């Protein structure tokens, strides 16, 4: 089994957090951004290395800056240790 990348896990958790705070179900959010629900689920579980254009779509739908979806540098430093 392929080990999930901790950075992708953190990114997915952040996206899930924003999605829920905006009141979207996973299915409703997937419809809003034009992606399959299973793909969105994979992103949120850290199983997908998401493309830049899809990140932009997600940020636009959530009305946040793309950079706010990424984990803080101090978290990334801990992950790499």
- Mean of pLDDT values over 45-53: 94
| Torsion, Cα of 68, 70, 71, 72 (10° steps) | -60
pTM here is 0.85
CB of 69 within 8 A of CB of 10? no
CB of 5 within 8 A of CB of 46? yes
- Digit-coded pLDDT (tens) for 27-48: 999 999 999 999 999 999 999 9
Name residues whose C-beta falls within 8 Å of residue 49's C-beta, 6 or more positions apart in sequence. 5, 8
CB of 65 within 8 A of CB of 59? yes
30 vs 72, which has greater pLDDT? 30
What is the reported pLDDT for 4?
85
User: For 6-80, CATH number?
Assistant: 1.10.260.40
Cα separation, 78 vs 19, in Å, equals 25
């Amino acid at each position: 089994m392929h080990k999930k990348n901790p950075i992708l896990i953190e990114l997915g958790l952040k996206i899930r957090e924003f999605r829920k705070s905006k009141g979207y179900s996973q299915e409703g959010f997937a419809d809003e951004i034009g992606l399959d629900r299973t793909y969105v689920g994979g992103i949120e579980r850290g199983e997908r290395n998401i493309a830049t254009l899809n990140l932009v779509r997600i940020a636009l739908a959530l009305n946040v800056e793309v950079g706010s979806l990424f984990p803080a540098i101090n978290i990334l430093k801990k992950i790499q240790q």
